[in-house]
């Protein structure tokens, strides 16, 4: 009744004095300014807000430093249903009282509706509980939020999820503007951290217990165990109570509740033990208000403010209450500035509202606040320190330095496990201490204290479960027909063995939880199955995962998630190799005929040049012409082995010999190296030298049946599919390579290195040619975003780091050594076949020399004693032999005499030189030597 009278009086006042207000001097200030408050005062938040707002108005009105003689006049309007149509009517009712601003509304839903009215009437709406991020859009310029935008709360939750290494969350929320838009912001923030919302469980706002149960049962059947609850204080606790009854506040679950829960805990404090039981282990957030004298004194005042004002006993104070108090101060300071700037408060009728088309709504009662826009700007410029701490807006219309406390509900109370600030993310020290340091959002700097999760455990929950509870994971395994060392089915059983299986089992053993699975064979057992098809069956839901020699390819990663590769295996080309057939003249091969000719010419040339340079000075190059020719040849060819005995005495001669010896050195070593490689290195029998030559040729190419290599060779390398020949087994491959493409086989075989290493370990007549031209690896395949893939990846890395992966590799893939190792060694040895030509030449030379020697000797013998033999007439065979032997003995004696004589000549020459004999003595000596020759000669000739 009082309120009706008040409204009537205000309307009368407005009618009588509107011109007066409009016509005031600049020096004249209004005695009072109307402020409306639109809240649901029948809720605990509304009750708290009312007390806080009234306290603030009282404080301001009694403080002459703010607004001078102008008093704030508060109009409270109950927002009974706080959403929808009724709120519009209630807002209009409030605006008819010519309020310069409205404090409220309580909910984002109402804020969305009445922001349109605020826009039209230019009346600022100041809300600290409507936190929906989309209210900050340019569409609603007259909506001003005096607390933190939910975008920051959602960023904090995304940071918490990412901090604990979870990847997927389920959101439970009221399907209204507040819930939907908040969750949408959370999705964006999670995506920035490569996390996501896997299931959005929407509920009717203020849902009944049955509705909540239905939704939560869906949540329990999902894979993720991280649940973000974003509702209002009014019904959020009911969701947690139903969740508790469904066993969803047990070990393994994580509940992150938005600020509604701290508001509930703080206002309705202390909660009953039943109420506390329903929220044990929940993580929640509270808008952070730094500790200050103002805050402490307001909190201590609160009991006085609330005493006697609430029927249900004392009312707790939540951060919303403190923001409510500060909101009035912000408005008062903005008005103060506004009035001090000489602005007036005037209202005028909206012509559009004055001409309602025949309706009876009387919308003409609401007026436009002409200076509303100025006041709005003035509010954004407020820079004060209130009970909530420093208060100012950033250019984007949000409060500066938003921060939250992260609260863990535990036992009979709560525990702060850290803070989140928009400045530095998660920390265990209050945000204001961080503002003086540079922002640090590095992973190492993100810290929280130990959390007691549901089920009273401090162990970080894994965050997900196998969705098909109770059922075994169906893991598809290829039934290989070749390279069974990698994976093969144990005959007549459901079990598999092999390298890939051992790696999988070892990795699963490292997981901190049990994985219920069963292997399901894939393939007919006659042909190698296609792993691409196996992977496709995961997307079709036939298998839950695939384990085996599955190469990670781009095409497959579009369908499934792979673990980290457990073996590297790029594609390589294999071709036949064989030793070049050795022949008798292999020693000639290193040099071309031209090279041989030029080399020989140079040997002669150098000999001749040295002779020209030396023969005038050097006795070694003198003598009869025949001897000199022999010396030239001997000298030049002996340099080939550095075995020349003739001294070079001239400088020019030495120079030429030095250069020539260097040339000989190079020619020698090149010849040696070339001959060695020709005789020892295996030669490719195929013209294929790598993938490039394969592309350019037209010959058939083999590939492993069922392997991705076929599509790779066609699509990426550009080999026509008619050239590709599938190979089922290594034996088939070997035969086809041995046959060669000329005989209906293949020119080369393309496969992954892992198989080829096994192939080559027992087949040394083949070799990898060229480079590995892809860089693939094998991994286990899981459905997209599978958390098991992530955990198994970690386990595979652990296996690799501990060396177990290598041990498993050695167990399966190193057992069969190359059976041709011995053969390989033999190949490296030079055999007689390559050299018999040389030996033949040398042998022939020896034989010819002996033959010539004997022929000459026989001819001399015949010349010397034909009569002797003929006179005896009959000379028997034995007597002829004796005669021949005595002739040889004689000859030997002559040679001995001759060498003795030469020795004497040398001694005599030396003694003559020593006593200074002149050339005459030499002449005597030569005479004596001639006489000696003469003495010998009858014996010889
Ligand atoms: N590793 C090959 C593939 O995955 C053959 O099994 O296609």
Distance from the alpha carbon of residue 719 to the mean position of ligand 1, in angstroms: 19
**Going by C-beta distance under 8 Å and a sequence separation of 6 or more, which residues neighbour residue 113?**
83, 84, 87, 88, 91
DSSP 715-731: III---GGGEEEE-SHH
What pLDDT is attached to residue 30? 92
Structure confidence by residue, pLDDT tens digits, 178-222: 999 999 999 999 999 999 999 999 999 889 999 999 999 999 999
What pLDDT is attached to residue 763? 86
Whole-number average pLDDT of the chain: 85
Three-class secondary structure of residue 171 per DSSP: strand
**549 Cβ below 6 A of ligand 1:** yes
Q: What topology does CATH give the domain 27-147+301-391?
A: Rossmann fold (3.40.50)
pLDDT surpassing 60 at residue 535: yes
Structure confidence by residue, pLDDT tens digits, 218-247: 999 999 999 999 999 989 999 999 999 999
Dihedral over alpha carbons 216, 222, 228, 232 (to 10 degrees)? -20
C-alpha 529/C-alpha 483 separation (Å) is 13
Fill in the DSSP letter of residue 712. Answer: I
Instruction: Label the pairing between strands 283-287 and 254-257.
Output: parallel
Q: Which atom of ligand 1 is nearest to the CA of 754?
A: 1
pLDDT surpassing 80 at residue 400: yes
Handedness of CA 915, 919, 920, 921 (dihedral sign): positive
The share of the chain scoring above pLDDT 70, in percent, equals 82
Nearest to 211 by CA among 225, 231, 196, 197: 231
**774 Cβ below 6 A of ligand 1:** no
Q: Which residue has the higher pLDDT, 907 or 161?
A: 161
Token code pair at residue 647:
């001294």
Q: Which residue has the higher pLDDT, 633 or 361?
A: 633
Cβ proximity of 265 and 292 under 8 Å: no
What pLDDT is attached to residue 639? 84
Instruction: Label the pairing between strands 777-778 and 567-568.
Output: antiparallel
* Of 557, 706, 710, 711, best ligand 1 pocket probe by most atoms within 8 Å of the beta carbon: 706
Fill in the DSSP letter of residue 356. Answer: -
pLDDT category, 891, cuts 50, 70, 90?
low
Residue 183: what are its φ and ψ, rounded to 5°? -70, -35
pLDDT category, 165, cuts 50, 70, 90?
very high
Distance from the alpha carbon of residue 550 to the mean position of ligand 1, in angstroms: 5
What pLDDT is attached to residue 27? 53
Cβ proximity of 30 and 24 under 8 Å: yes
Nearest to 771 by CA among 577, 570, 576: 570
Distance from the alpha carbon of residue 537 to the mean position of ligand 1, in angstroms: 15
Q: Which atom of ligand 1 is nearest to the CA of 480?
A: 6
Q: Residue for token digits 């080399």?
A: 599
Q: How many CB atoms lie within 10 A of CB 728?
A: 15
Handedness of CA 149, 155, 161, 166 (dihedral sign): positive
Structure confidence by residue, pLDDT tens digits, 259-302: 999 999 999 888 999 999 999 999 999 999 999 999 999 999 99
pTM attached to this predicted model:
0.67
**531 Cβ below 6 A of ligand 1:** yes
The share of the chain scoring above pLDDT 90, in percent, equals 58
Q: Which atom of ligand 1 is nearest to the CA of 704?
A: 5
What pLDDT is attached to residue 257? 98
C-alpha 778/C-alpha 553 separation (Å) is 9
Structure confidence by residue, pLDDT tens digits, 319-345: 999 999 999 999 999 999 999 999 999
Give the Å distances, CA to CA, from 313 to 269, 296, 300, 492: 11, 22, 17, 76
**550 Cβ below 6 A of ligand 1:** yes
Distance from the alpha carbon of residue 212 to the mean position of ligand 1, in angstroms: 48
C-alpha 274/C-alpha 304 separation (Å) is 29
Give the Å distances, CA to CA, from 450 to 249, 418, 447, 890: 18, 9, 10, 118
Interval 721-741 mean pLDDT: 93
Lowest mean pLDDT among 430-439, 565-574, 647-656: 647-656
Is the domain 473-569+779-802 a CATH 3.40.190.10 member?
yes
DSSP 919-935: HHHHHHHHHHHHHHHHH
Examine domains 150-292+402-445 and 686-775 and report if their fold is the same. Answer: no
Three-class secondary structure of residue 900 per DSSP: helix
Where are any strands of DSSP class E within 311-402?
347-349, 367-369, 384-386, 389-391
State the angle between helix axes of 319-340 and 372-380 in degrees (0 to 180), rounded to the nearest 10.
120
Structure confidence by residue, pLDDT tens digits, 769-794: 989 999 999 999 999 988 899 999 99
Q: Which atom of ligand 1 is nearest to the CA of 528?
A: 6
Residue 39: what are its φ and ψ, rounded to 5°? -145, 165
C-alpha 164/C-alpha 157 separation (Å) is 11
Give the Å distances, CA to CA, from 162 to 157, 196, 406, 630: 9, 10, 15, 94
**Going by C-beta distance under 8 Å and a sequence separation of 6 or more, which residues neighbour residue 885?**
none
Q: Which atom of ligand 1 is nearest to the CA of 551?
A: 4
* Farthest-apart Cα atoms in the chain, separation: 183
Three-class secondary structure of residue 766 per DSSP: strand
What pLDDT is attached to residue 809? 94
Query: What CATH number matches the domain at 150-292+402-445, 3.30.200.20, 3.40.630.30, 3.80.10.10, 3.40.50.2300?
Result: 3.40.50.2300
C-alpha 346/C-alpha 23 separation (Å) is 9
Cβ proximity of 157 and 258 under 8 Å: yes
pLDDT category, 925, cuts 50, 70, 90?
very low
Give the Å distances, CA to CA, from 660 to 384, 610, 663: 98, 10, 5
C-alpha 934/C-alpha 905 separation (Å) is 16
pLDDT surpassing 60 at residue 654: yes
* Of 500, 527, 548, 551, best ligand 1 pocket probe by most atoms within 8 Å of the beta carbon: 551
C-alpha 779/C-alpha 782 separation (Å) is 10
Token code pair at residue 742:
């000329």
What pLDDT is attached to residue 636? 82
C-alpha 912/C-alpha 660 separation (Å) is 39
Closest-CA residue, ligand 1 atom 6, reads: 707
pLDDT category, 313, cuts 50, 70, 90?
low
pLDDT category, 20, cuts 50, 70, 90?
very low
pLDDT surpassing 80 at residue 411: yes
Instruction: Label the pairing between strands 561-562 and 781-782.
Output: antiparallel
C-alpha 754/C-alpha 743 separation (Å) is 28
Q: Which residue has the higher pLDDT, 189 or 641?
A: 189
Q: Which atom of ligand 1 is nearest to the CA of 708?
A: 7
Structure confidence by residue, pLDDT tens digits, 536-594: 999 999 999 999 999 999 999 999 999 999 999 999 999 987 665 667 787 888 888 88
Structure confidence by residue, pLDDT tens digits, 901-921: 655 555 555 544 444 444 333
Structure confidence by residue, pLDDT tens digits, 466-475: 876 668 999 9
Distance from the alpha carbon of residue 792 to the mean position of ligand 1, in angstroms: 20
How wide is the angle at C-alpha 349 spanned by C-alphas 343 and 352, nearest 5°?
130
**Going by C-beta distance under 8 Å and a sequence separation of 6 or more, which residues neighbour residue 52?**
305, 317, 321, 322, 324, 325
Strand order in the sheet with 32-39: 71-78, 32-39, 101-103, 125-127, 143-145
Give the Å distances, CA to CA, from 388 to 106, 301, 385, 511, 562: 19, 15, 8, 47, 49
Cβ proximity of 201 and 219 under 8 Å: yes
Dihedral over alpha carbons 63, 66, 68, 69 (to 10 degrees)? -60
C-alpha 605/C-alpha 602 separation (Å) is 5
Domain extent listing, the chain: 1-26, 27-147+301-391, 150-292+402-445, 473-569+779-802, 686-775, 869-940
What pLDDT is attached to residue 814? 75
Closest-CA residue, ligand 1 atom 2, reads: 707
Q: Which residue has the higher pLDDT, 216 or 666?
A: 216
DSSP 770-808: S------EE--EESTT-HHHHHHHHHHHHHHHHTHHHHH
**Going by C-beta distance under 8 Å and a sequence separation of 6 or more, which residues neighbour residue 523?**
478, 479, 480, 529, 706
Alpha helices in 307-371 (DSSP H): 319-340, 351-354
Nearest to 205 by CA among 184, 231, 227: 231
Lowest mean pLDDT among 4-13, 34-43, 192-201, 722-731: 4-13
What pLDDT is attached to residue 625? 84
pLDDT surpassing 90 at residue 620: no
What pLDDT is attached to residue 932? 38
Q: Which atom of ligand 1 is nearest to the CA of 569?
A: 1
How wide is the angle at C-alpha 419 spanned by C-alphas 413 and 423, nearest 5°?
165
Fill in the DSSP letter of residue 541. Answer: T
Q: Which atom of ligand 1 is nearest to the CA of 550?
A: 4
What pLDDT is attached to residue 570? 94
**551 Cβ below 6 A of ligand 1:** yes
State the angle between helix axes of 804-813 and 753-761 in degrees (0 to 180), rounded to the nearest 10.
50
Q: What topology does CATH give the domain 686-775?
A: D-Maltodextrin-Binding Protein; domain 2 (3.40.190)
**522 Cβ below 6 A of ligand 1:** no
**707 Cβ below 6 A of ligand 1:** yes
C-alpha 130/C-alpha 91 separation (Å) is 15
What pLDDT is attached to residue 912? 47
Cβ proximity of 159 and 446 under 8 Å: yes
């Amino acid at each position: 009744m009082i309120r009706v009278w008040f409204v009537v009086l205000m309307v009368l006042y407005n009618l009588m004095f509107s011109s007066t207000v409009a016509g005031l001097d600049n020096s004249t200030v209004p005695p009072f300014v109307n402020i409306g408050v639109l809240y649901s005062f029948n809720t605990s938040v509304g009750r708290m807000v009312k007390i806080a707002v009234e306290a603030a108005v009282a404080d301001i009105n009694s403080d002459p430093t703010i607004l001078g003689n102008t008093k704030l006049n508060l109009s409270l309007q109950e927002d009974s249903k706080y959403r929808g149509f009724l709120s519009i009517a209630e807002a209009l009712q409030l605006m008819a009282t010519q309020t310069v601003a409205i404090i409220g509304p309580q909910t984002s839903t109402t804020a969305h509706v009445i922001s349109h009215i605020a826009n039209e009437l230019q009346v600022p709406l100041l809300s600290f509980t409507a936190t929906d991020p989309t209210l900050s859009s340019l569409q609603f310029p007259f909506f001003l939020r005096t607390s933190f935008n939910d975008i920051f709360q959602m960023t904090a939750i995304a940071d918490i999820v990412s901090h604990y290494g979870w990847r997927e969350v389920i959101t439970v929320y009221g399907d209204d503007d507040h819930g939907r838009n908040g969750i949408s912001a959370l999705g964006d923030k999670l995506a920035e951290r490569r996390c996501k919302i896997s299931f959005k469980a929407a509920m009717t706002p203020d849902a009944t217990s049955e509705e909540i149960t239905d939704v939560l049962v869906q949540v329990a059947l999902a894979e993720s165990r991280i649940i973000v609850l974003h509702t209002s204080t009014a019904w959020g606790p009911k969701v947690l109570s139903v969740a508790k009854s469904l066993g969803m506040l047990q070990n393994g679950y994580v509940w992150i509740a938005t600020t509604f829960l701290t508001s509930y805990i703080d206002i309705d404090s202390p909660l009953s033990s039943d109420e506390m039981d329903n929220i044990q282990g929940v993580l929640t957030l509270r808008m952070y208000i730094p500790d200050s004298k103002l805050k402490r004194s307001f909190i201590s005042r609160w009991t006085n403010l609330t005493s006697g004002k609430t029927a249900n006993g004392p009312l707790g104070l939540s951060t919303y209450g403190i923001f409510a108090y500060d909101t009035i101060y912000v408005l008062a300071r903005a008005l103060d500035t506004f009035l001090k700037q000489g602005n007036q408060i005037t209202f005028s009728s909206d012509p559009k509202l004055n001409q309602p088309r025949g309706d009876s709504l009387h919308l003409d009662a609401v007026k436009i606040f002409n200076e509303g826009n100025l006041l709005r700007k003035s509010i954004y410029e407020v820079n004060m320190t209130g009970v909530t701490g420093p208060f100012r807006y950033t250019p984007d219309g949000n409060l500066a330095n938003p921060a939250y406390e992260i609260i863990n509900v535990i036992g009979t109370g709560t525990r702060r496990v850290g803070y989140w600030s928009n400045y530095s993310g998660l920390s265990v020290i209050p945000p204001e201490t961080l503002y003086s340091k540079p922002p640090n959002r590095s992973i190492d700097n993100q810290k929280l204290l130990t959390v007691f999760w549901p089920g009273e455990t401090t162990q970080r929950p894994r965050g997900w479960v196998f969705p098909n509870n109770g059922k075994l994971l169906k893991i598809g395994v290829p039934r290989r027909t070749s390279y069974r060392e990698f994976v093969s089915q144990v005959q007549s059983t459901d079990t598999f063995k092999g390298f890939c299986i051992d790696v999988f089992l070892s990795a699963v053993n490292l997981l901190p939880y049990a994985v219920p699975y069963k292997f399901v064979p894939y393939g007919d057992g006659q042909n190698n199955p296609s792993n691409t098809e196996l992977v496709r069956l995961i997307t079709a839901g036939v298998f839950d995962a695939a384990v085996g020699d599955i190469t990670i390819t781009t095409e497959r990663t579009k369908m499934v998630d792979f673990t980290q590769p457990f073996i590297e295996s790029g594609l390589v080309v294999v071709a036949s190799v064989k030793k070049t057939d050795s022949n008798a003249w292999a020693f000639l091969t290193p040099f071309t005929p031209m090279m041989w000719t030029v080399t020989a010419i140079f040997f002669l040339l150098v000999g001749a040049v040295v002779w020209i340079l030396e023969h005038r000075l050097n006795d070694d190059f003198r003598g009869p012409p025949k001897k000199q020719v022999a010396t030239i040849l001997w000298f030049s060819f002996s340099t080939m082995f550095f075995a020349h005995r003739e001294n070079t005495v001239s400088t020019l001669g030495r120079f030429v010999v030095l250069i020539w010896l260097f040339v000989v050195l190079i020619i020698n070593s090149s010849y040696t190296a070339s001959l060695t490689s020709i005789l020892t290195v295996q030669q490719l029998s195929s013209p294929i030298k790598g993938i490039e030559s394969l592309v350019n040729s037209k010959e058939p190419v083999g590939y492993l049946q069922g392997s991705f290599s076929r599509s790779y060779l066609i699509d990426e390398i550009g080999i026509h599919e008619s050239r590709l020949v599938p190979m089922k087994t290594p034996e088939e491959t070997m035969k086809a390579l041995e046959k060669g493409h000329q005989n209906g086989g293949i020119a080369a075989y393309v496969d992954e290195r892992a198989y080829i290493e096994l192939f080559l370990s027992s087949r040394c007549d083949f070799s990898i040619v060229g480079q590995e031209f892809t860089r693939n690896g094998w991994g286990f395949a899981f459905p997209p975003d599978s958390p098991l893939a992530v955990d198994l990846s970690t386990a595979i890395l652990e296996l690799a780091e501990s060396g177990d992966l290598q041990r498993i590799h050695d167990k399966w893939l190193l057992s069969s050594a190359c059976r041709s190792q011995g053969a390989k060694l033999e190949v490296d040895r030079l055999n007689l076949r390559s050299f018999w030509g040389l030996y033949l030449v040398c042998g022939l030379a020896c034989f010819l020399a002996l033959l010539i020697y004997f022929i000459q000797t026989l001819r001399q013998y015949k010349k010397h004693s034909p009569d002797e033999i003929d006179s005896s007439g009959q000379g028997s065979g034995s007597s002829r032999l004796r005669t021949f032997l005595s002739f040889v003995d004689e000859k030997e004696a002559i040679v001995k005499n001759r060498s003795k004589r030469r020795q004497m000549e040398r001694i005599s020459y030396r003694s003559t030189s020593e006593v200074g004999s002149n050339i005459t003595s030499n002449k005597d000596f030569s005479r004596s030597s001639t006489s000696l020759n003469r003495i010998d000669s009858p014996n010889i000739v």
